[in-house]
């Protein structure tokens, strides 16, 4: 059953640790990212704590510092309240918000020189439509974490192989960035599973509009023999072109069926919408991605260094150890 929290004063606050909030669509590799960062920390002598804030999580391989499922579990909510998966998850996150003392007590266990990653749910509505995650972040701000939080948005690198999906992922990232109002880093996960040259090719494109133009050009090259019925002896026409009256006055227009014309109209409307989205992304000029290959320690270090730099992590930490870095007295 759902845990009922006791009332009473909170524990004494013990510091304000650095908090990395990991977000992204379901299946994008958030938990794998958390595990990779934690294991990399172990290899370099750095303690990275990871906490699960996903009430619907089934399993993860990282060492969990605390787990929201100890407070509320989506399976129990679905059974007791007869809700579906999405409704159950929204209820769980709203319950966490109403009982934020539990989260505050857990986070207050960490000292100000410690590093905490929050593995958040993958339901994208929690970041773009339902203001639950924003309200949780506002609570963290009230508790004094204003200057020590950073959001990391994970996007599956397999989207790179499909320009429309990559543009969609970029729009989701921009939406989360605007909604959360935090220092923000975008990461392409699963780069070890895709063609690295293709990833670099897409990331080197200067704008979303340019990327979509390349996609349209590719579509034109594939248009020969498509629904427009063009033959090898006739020029290839864009699938978005509805101007079917030939310049020579011939009867080429008869080669397009009503179904083909309707399909071309739909494609043209979709193309205009995509162009508008690309223009929006270019206007903000804020969405860029860091590729992450979890099999490459240098790639993990590269991403972590960017995240740390975003919030100046480590600048105020004291050097720990017994070595005298100033040398013996009397030496130059």
Residue pLDDT, tens place only, 67-105: 999 999 999 999 999 999 989 999 999 999 999 999 999
The reported pLDDT for the residue numbered 316 is 61
The reported pLDDT for the residue numbered 330 is 47
Question: Can you read off the two tokens belonging to residue 37?
Answer: 């960062």
Contact between 105 and 36 under an 8 Å Cβ cutoff? The reply is no
- Select the highest-mean-pLDDT range: 83-92, 217-226, 229-238, 318-327: 83-92
Contact between 156 and 28 under an 8 Å Cβ cutoff? The reply is yes
Q: pLDDT tens-digit profile of 158-201? A: 877 777 788 888 888 888 888 899 999 999 999 988 888 888 87
Question: Can you read off the two tokens belonging to residue 66?
Answer: 């605390």
How far is Cα 299 from Cα 291, in angstroms, rounded to an integer? 8
The β-bridge partners of 116 are 19, 49
Grouping H, G, I as helix, E, B as strand and the rest as coil, residue 118 is: strand
pLDDT top residue among 120 and 324: 120
Question: Can you read off the two tokens belonging to residue 165?
Answer: 């999906």
Long-range contacts of range 229-236, CB-CB < 8 Å, 24 or more positions apart? 229/255, 229/256, 229/257, 229/260, 230/255
Percent of the chain with pLDDT over 70: 77
Q: pLDDT tens-digit profile of 266-309? A: 777 877 888 888 887 787 777 888 999 999 999 999 999 999 99
The β-bridge partners of 22 are 119, 152
How far is Cα 281 from Cα 291, in angstroms, rounded to an integer? 19
pLDDT top residue among 228 and 23: 23
């Amino acid at each position: 059953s759902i845990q009922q929290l006791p009332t009473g004063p909170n524990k004494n606050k013990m510091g304000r640790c650095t908090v990395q909030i990991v977000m992204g669509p379901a299946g994008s590799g958030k938990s794998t990212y958390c595990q990779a960062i934690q294991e990399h920390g172990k290899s370099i002598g750095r303690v990275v704590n990871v906490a699960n804030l996903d009430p619907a999580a089934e399993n993860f391989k990282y060492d969990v510092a605390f787990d929201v499922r100890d407070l509320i579990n989506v399976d129990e909510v679905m059974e007791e309240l007869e809700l579906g998966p999405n409704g159950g998850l929204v209820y769980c996150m709203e319950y966490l918000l109403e009982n934020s003392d539990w989260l505050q007590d857990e986070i207050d266990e960490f000292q100000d020189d410690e590093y905490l990653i929050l593995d958040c749910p993958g339901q994208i509505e929690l970041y773009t439509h339902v203001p639950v995650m924003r309200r949780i972040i506002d609570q963290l701000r009230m508790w004094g974490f204003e200057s020590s939080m950073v959001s990391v948005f994970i996007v599956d690198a397999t989207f790179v192989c499909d320009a429309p999906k990559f543009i969609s992922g970029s729009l989701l990232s921009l939406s989360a960035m605007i909604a959360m109002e935090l220092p923000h880093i975008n990461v392409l996960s699963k780069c070890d599973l895709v063609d690295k040259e293709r990833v670099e090719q897409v990331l080197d494109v200067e704008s979303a509009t340019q990327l979509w133009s390349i996609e349209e050009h590719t579509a034109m090259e594939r248009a020969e023999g498509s629904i427009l019925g063009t033959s090898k002896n006739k020029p290839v026409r864009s699938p978005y072109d509805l101007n079917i009256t030939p310049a020579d006055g011939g009867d080429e227009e008869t080669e397009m069926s009503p179904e083909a014309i309707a399909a071309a109209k739909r494609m043209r409307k979709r193309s205009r919408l995509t162009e508008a989205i690309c223009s929006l992304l270019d206007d903000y000029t804020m969405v860029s991605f860091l590729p992450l290959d979890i099999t490459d320690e240098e790639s993990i270090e590269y991403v972590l260094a960017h995240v740390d730099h975003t919030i100046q992590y480590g600048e105020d930490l004291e050097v720990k150890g017994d070595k005298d870095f100033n040398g013996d007295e009397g030496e130059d």
